[in-house]
Chain A
């Protein structure tokens, strides 16, 4: 596949494993993709496919017993690369940074200033004991402090006195007044009606849709290069879904940020994404542009998805649910060879061996033997290691 020269994010062979009592769970297994500037990259798959874990791995909020176990995550940022080159030479290559090689303090800075994430359930993603305004302002404050100390990459210290003041809601805790003002501006940006008084309200006083807007406002607080949206509309009504998606698109045009959008809903993908990755059982089984996936897909799993989703099948056409279940991701129980083979209507003998990734087209690749037109290789289609 042609690599774009100035892509914002390049994920290379990412693997994340959970070390549980029952065994090692390969939640993400050798996933590679790129996200360009101002692009929306969608990751689609059933639940259990590893898409959420992938999203969380990008900003490393994976907690024990999980661990990112392999791969590289390249982030292209000239300014930051220059700052880090001195102290962390192993992580810097020209104008891009391998996030995996950075210590936790620095990845924290990345989360505070360059990346943002919004989550599926807005009601659970806010702290019920603080107002929306306070929590958005927190994100603003983090960014502010990083900017103030960019050379030393800002230490976000928090003392016991800060805690006391914050607990009793006394101004002068962690969040400055400036940041709070900015939080209100952000609420206006996401079309929150009456932002000044709503900022003083608690999460339970908002509807799901409004709260999601609040979460978007919070995500924009740091003016990120990349926004990761994990099922942002799944918990919302269909009508609200549209509004939120439109808002995200608008913000993308205005700010030029990139978005990684995780969802199981093909309709959402169709509306918003430029490029798409299809995940199954921890692997990216197909990757390509919007039309590549929707009109020219190769992998049987992608076909299956398209046929079983009501939003992508024409009215009158039958919905075909896919038989079988996602395999157990515990290491010793995983199938050898292609993960999808046992459910695949087009499985061949050769599928007992794990398929390599094939180029189908300029931006389109798939991990399936069906892409290999002739078993003994056509020079045009390169076998990729």
Chain B
């Protein structure tokens, strides 16, 4: 089938999955025992007040009506009202979104930038000491709890060495750039970097370890293929063979794994945000669970699912682009 049909079909599938997710999440509200109206109302509220709150929240309607309302709200971008703050869930999430996105992107960029050279070095030094070091480091990397790693980094840099802050964010990237362009002051950017570097490195460690291992194994497999031997017979330099041919062909599977592991990245971000007091959606989620603020929980989970489904679709499409042989199934 054609590429466009493939893309459409893939997106359609994603939407379907998203719908299932919405249905599952919607039911959370009903699983949990307890009356949300009571939670919202003041502690000494009378029965009538509680009843009117229930009316306002539509809790007396039959379930399917509530579901429709919820779906309609979703399409408008309305994720409900927080039990805790009484304000819009969507607004709160949107407010925190840039922070989490910065963290996620920074961690991904760092891990790709580190893992490809490490993977290539490891593959070309196979059975060497270098290879062993890199391989073992990768194994350690995937075995280390990321929150603990973050704490250790805080121990080393801010506590022992006195550089880099222990947490927080201060400026978003967008604001930092605005300040740069309006006043020419670089310090905002520098502050942003100082604040994001420890969390991003911590979050990226798992990914780096994983990708290094994958790059190494992928490269080794490619280097054993016949076309590499044929390329050598052409008199091309080893560097060219390594990068233009072997690495190029190793990238596609890497991309797929990257996409599949986005879930781990987001999950990791939730914890890292706690460790570094990073004001992102993850902390919003954790606080919501602690406070049993179900609309917020639903909202954040939904957003996460949306992001992951979107990422998976992107990955599938990019894979088809990178790999000319693929028949669009």
- Chain B 218-262, CB-CB to A under 8 Å as 1, else 0, gives 000000011101111111110110011101110100000000000
Size category of the A interface is 35 or more
CA distance A222 to B226 in the complex (A): 21
- Which of A21-29, A119-127, A185-193 participates in binding chain B? A119-127
A residues within 8 A CB of B232? 61, 111
CA distance A222 to B235 in the complex (A): 10
The answer to whether B249 touches A124 (Cβ under 8 A) is no
Residue in A closest to B324 when the chains form the complex, CB atoms: A202
* B87 touches A (CB below 8 Å): no
The answer to whether B229 touches A204 (Cβ under 8 A) is no
CA distance A56 to B247 in the complex (A): 24
CA distance A183 to B244 in the complex (A): 19
Given contacts A128-B249, A129-B324, A204-B325, contact A112 B236 (CB under 8 A): yes
The answer to whether B325 touches A127 (Cβ under 8 A) is no
The answer to whether A142 touches B227 (Cβ under 8 A) is no
- Complex partner residue of A113 from B227, B235, B248, B324, CB under 8 angstroms: B235
From B229, B232, B236, B244, residue with most partner A Cβ within 10 Å: B244
- Complex partner residue of A129 from B226, B233, B234, B248, CB under 8 angstroms: B248
* A138 touches B (CB below 8 Å): yes
* A174 touches B (CB below 8 Å): yes
* B137 touches A (CB below 8 Å): no
The answer to whether B237 touches A125 (Cβ under 8 A) is no
The answer to whether B237 touches A157 (Cβ under 8 A) is yes
* A101 touches B (CB below 8 Å): no
Residue in B closest to A228 when the chains form the complex, CB atoms: B233
A165 to B: closest C-beta gap in Å: 10
A residues within 8 A CB of B226? 119, 121, 124-125
The answer to whether B230 touches A126 (Cβ under 8 A) is yes
Size category of the B interface is 20 to 34
A residues within 8 A CB of B248? 127, 129, 166-167
The answer to whether B243 touches A142 (Cβ under 8 A) is no
* B323 touches A (CB below 8 Å): yes
B residues within 8 A CB of A59? 233
- Chain B 295-329, CB-CB to A under 8 Å as 1, else 0, gives 00000000000000000000000000011110000
The answer to whether B237 touches A166 (Cβ under 8 A) is no
Given contacts A61-B232, A127-B231, A174-B244, contact A158 B249 (CB under 8 A): no
Residue in A closest to B322 when the chains form the complex, CB atoms: A129
CA distance A146 to B227 in the complex (A): 22
CA distance A126 to B233 in the complex (A): 12
B187 to A: closest C-beta gap in Å: 31
* A261 touches B (CB below 8 Å): no
A-B CB proximity, top 10 nearest = A112-B235, A111-B235, A125-B230, A158-B240, A124-B226, A117-B233, A163-B243, A156-B237, A158-B239, A202-B324
Query: Which A positions have Cβ atoms within 8 angstroms of B?
Result: 56, 59, 61, 63, 108-113, 116-117, 119, 121, 124-129, 138-139, 142, 146, 156-158, 160, 162-163, 166-167, 173-174, 202, 204, 215, 218, 222
> Could you list 22 A-B pairs, sorted by A, with CB under 8 Å?
A108-B235, A108-B237, A111-B232, A119-B233, A124-B227, A125-B227, A126-B227, A126-B230, A127-B249, A128-B227, A129-B322, A142-B236, A146-B235, A158-B239, A158-B244, A160-B243, A166-B248, A167-B244, A167-B248, A167-B251, A202-B325, A222-B235
